[in-house]
Copies of this chain bind each other. A is one copy, B any other.
Amino acid sequence: MLWLVGLGIHGYKGLSAKALEVLSSINTIYVEKYTSPMPDPDIDALKGALNKEIKIVPRWFVEDGREILESAKSNDVALIVYGDPLIATTHLELRVRAEKDGIKCRVLHASSSITSIIGECGLHMYKIGRIITLVSEAQAIASIYYTIYSNLITDNHTLILLEYNQEKNFFLKPNDAFNMLLDCEKDQKHDVISEDIFAIVASRIGSDDQRITSGRIGSLLRYDFGAPPHSIIITGSLHFTEIDALKVLTKMFDEPTNNSKGITKIAEQMVQKYVPKAKRALEQAMNSVNDDKGFSEIFENAEYYISDAERFLKQGKLELAVLSIGYAEGLIDAIRFLKRVNA
């Protein structure tokens, strides 16, 4: 039988009474410390508390999984895992493989950094959108940016977990994460991230040295948050009780603002940009064309569709607004193409 035992976020004393009971009767105990760093004193204390040997195993050992599963076929085996065991897909996969091999598997859940961070910051769980992990590899940054964007549009907060690489002993710093997001804004240009966006940095949650800092990204950019691990939250619209909680529970550099308020949908941005552009182009085209070979009908239609786009925008029918402004531009540009040839 395989036990996946959650350690929770409070060090080795985060193990539940049930977990200690189970572990005391098991001889083969593994512990992983690659999903989150577990300090050596904690591991030593764990060995002392259980009064038996435990094997610290690297990521590849759990991903490979064969030794664990082989052993679990005939013996009781436990893998101790930081936080809540099934949040890491590696552990989920091990569980599924165990069941497929006919090995009974039970999970002892424990406190997760996800729900803990949200609660410690005073935010409502029901306002959390899709959770993401930010890694320093630049490739993934655009998808992170669009998740924040999508969460903000639906008024949700975004919890951003920051890369931890045990082999390289690397923790992505909140400061670097903010700079990556600001750089991404320069490419994507949807006004999602700026130095004025309100953010929260949750540091060392669950430890005695826990600190939470909040404020404009501009204020947080050069702040020293101390030892890792850290997570970031980009808040959406905040309930007044959340604002109240943030003021009490965090070191706050700036008053919280509603980050969702400044977000306009891409479609909205397009229409706002292209309507005045189309109006100018139409005026120029009307002034420069003298013959009336059907041009007047095109002008009338272009005018009609520009005002349609404005009306649809007001009604929140954004797709129709984009379609209309695109159509108007097509009509106007057709004249431009013809004129260039006829000039």
Contacts and interface: CB of A to CB of B under 8 A. Distances in A.
Interface of A: 6, 8-18, 20-21, 49, 84-87, 89, 92-93, 95-96, 99-100, 107-112, 114-116, 118-120, 122, 124-133, 150, 154, 156, 206, 241, 244-245, 248-249, 265-267, 270, 274, 293-295, 297-298, 301-302, 305, 318-319, 322-335, 337-342
22 contacts: A9-B109, A10-B109, A11-B18, A17-B17, A84-B112, A84-B119, A86-B116, A92-B119, A92-B122, A96-B122, A267-B319, A270-B323, A294-B341, A295-B338, A297-B341, A319-B322, A323-B326, A327-B330, A330-B333, A330-B334, A331-B331, A334-B334
A69 B100 CA distance: 51
A103 B206 CA distance: 19
A131 B128 contact: yes
B13 A119 contact: no
Q: Give chain A's interface secondary structure class.
A: helix
Nearest to A157: B130
Number of copies: 2
Chain B CB within 10 Å, residue with most, of A87, A92, A129, A154: A92
Contacts of A340: 294, 297
Contacts of A85: 119
Contacts of A12: 17
Nearest to A123: B92
Contacts of A302: 330
Given A129-B130, A326-B322, A109 B119 contact: yes
Contacts of A326: 322-327, 329-330
